[in-house]
Amino acid sequence: MEFNIEKKVCVVLTGKEENGRLKEIKDVEWIELRIDEFLREKDEEELIPWIVKIRECTNSKIIGTVRWYKEGGKNPYYIPDKKRIEIFKNIIEYVDFVDIELKSKILKEVVEIAKSNGKGVIVSYHNFKKTPGKEILKDLIRKAKKEKPDIIKIATLVISEKHLYNLAEITYFYTRKNHLVIIPMGNNPLFRFIPLFLGSLFTYVSLGRKVAPGQLSYSEFVELTKISHFRNIK
């Protein structure tokens, strides 16, 4: 099995951390733009130039998301659904994928925006309180599959061994026929490595400010893979 670090991370950008640092991540496979976090402190007129700059400085697939406040984590930034749709329409030309929450009311509309523009779709589920049981996780995957996404993402808080086992089992069995991204959030950042060896496509890391429990920075992730001899395992 090959484990190539650059292909196993998605670097999350919020507009606060990347000045002068984009060269560090120019060869990573994925970048996620948390546009809700960007707009928390910046004007909307700055949004497209920001995305264009990232596109010019990296070779990555770019994911654009305007996170629903109910799945935005700690201290979420509220953006009305109507505005979220407008933003997705404005950015669609400049991104490769969009990420939209399974439980969002604008799910189908955003999926249609992406597909009609030839862009990829990630349908996601985030739970910052717990990891649901296996049957609920299976049901979430079944419901997400109905939207015909390119990737299904599940990110849940792990507070027990059973939670971690549930995510690991779901990853192992469902990545055989589905493109999944499984993220065990929590106090132990090493948990995020486990799904990568069971078929999960990538994990999320920050370049600067962390936006989820247990999220590593890109530099921390690289150092851990060196220490643990994960880089380019075959």
**pLDDT tens readout for residues 166-221:** 999 999 999 989 999 999 999 888 899 899 999 999 999 998 766 777 788 888 88
Range of the domain at 12: 5-227
Asked if the model's pLDDT at residue 117 lies above 50, the reply is yes
Residue 234: inside a domain: no
Residue 232: inside a domain: no
What pLDDT sits at residue 226?
Answer: 73
| Catalytic residue list contains 229 | no
What pLDDT sits at residue 23?
Answer: 86
Residue 91: inside a domain: yes
- CATH at residue 19: 3.20.20.70
Cβ–Cβ under 8 Å, residues 68 and 101: yes
As a whole number of angstroms, the distance between CA 7 and CA 217 comes to 16
What pLDDT sits at residue 229?
Answer: 56
Q: What is the pLDDT of residues 6-26, one digit of tens each?
A: 688 999 999 876 667 888 898
Reported as a pLDDT band with limits 50, 70 and 90, residue 52 is: very high
* Residue of 126, 129, 143, 229 with catalytic role: 126
pLDDT greater at residue 5 or residue 176: 176
What pLDDT sits at residue 215?
Answer: 82
| Catalytic residue list contains 146 | no
Q: How many domains does the chain have?
A: 1
| Phi, psi dihedral angles at 181 (to 5 degrees) | -125, 115
What pLDDT sits at residue 233?
Answer: 45
Q: What is the pLDDT of residues 29-45, one digit of tens each?
A: 999 999 999 999 899 99
For residue 41, give both structure tokens. 């402190």
Asked if the model's pLDDT at residue 133 lies above 60, the reply is yes
Mean pLDDT of the chain: 91
Residue 215: inside a domain: yes
Asked if the model's pLDDT at residue 5 lies above 90, the reply is no
Residue 17: inside a domain: yes
Cβ–Cβ under 8 Å, residues 15 and 42: yes
For residue 6, give both structure tokens. 């650059």
Residue 64: inside a domain: yes
- In the chain, what percentage of residues exceed pLDDT 70? 92
Cβ–Cβ under 8 Å, residues 214 and 204: no
Residue 25: inside a domain: yes
Q: What is the pLDDT of residues 92-102, one digit of tens each?
A: 999 999 999 99
Q: What is the pLDDT of residues 153-164, one digit of tens each?
A: 999 999 999 999
By C-alpha distance, which of 44, 43, 96, 41 is closest to 65? Answer: 96
What pLDDT sits at residue 127?
Answer: 97
As a whole number of angstroms, the distance between CA 200 and CA 198 comes to 6
* Residue of 8, 119, 153, 163 with catalytic role: 153
Residue 184: inside a domain: yes
